[in-house]
Amino acid sequence: MTRDEVIERYKGGISIGDGIAGEEWLLDEENTTVNSLHLLGYDANMYPMPDLSRRPAKYQDHVKCEVLKQLNEWDGAVYLDGQLVKR
C-alpha cells in the first residue's frame, strides 16, 4: 500500500464513544507513512484533546484498546498523540 492509499483508507480516523463523551482520533497526514499511522485526539466538539500521555494510565489503556480494536487489520505501527501504542 502506498502512502496515498494509507491516507485515503484512514482519512476518516477512529471514533470512540458517543455524544458529548465521544472522541475522534484523526489522521495526522504529515507524519503518517506507508507503515505507521499517526492519529491526533479531538473531543466531540473537534477541539484538540490534551496529549494522551498526560491523562490517567487507566484511561490511556482504554483508548489504546479501543483504537487498536478498530485497526486490527492494520499491520504497521500506530501512534496516538506521538506515543507509540503498536509496533
For residues 51 and 69, what is the distance between their CA atoms, to the nearest angstrom?
A: 20
pLDDT band at 59 (very low <50, low <70, confident <90, very high): very high
Burial label for 28, CB within 10 Å (0-12, 13-18, 19+), is middle
- Give the pLDDT score at 1: 86
User: What is the pTM (predicted TM-score) of this model?
Assistant: 0.92
Q: Are 25 and 39 in contact (CB under 8 A)?
A: yes
Q: Are 25 and 69 in contact (CB under 8 A)?
A: no
Structure confidence by residue, pLDDT tens digits, 1-43: 899 999 999 999 999 988 888 999 999 999 999 999 999 999 9
Nearest alpha-carbon partner for 24 in 54, 55, 46, 53: 46
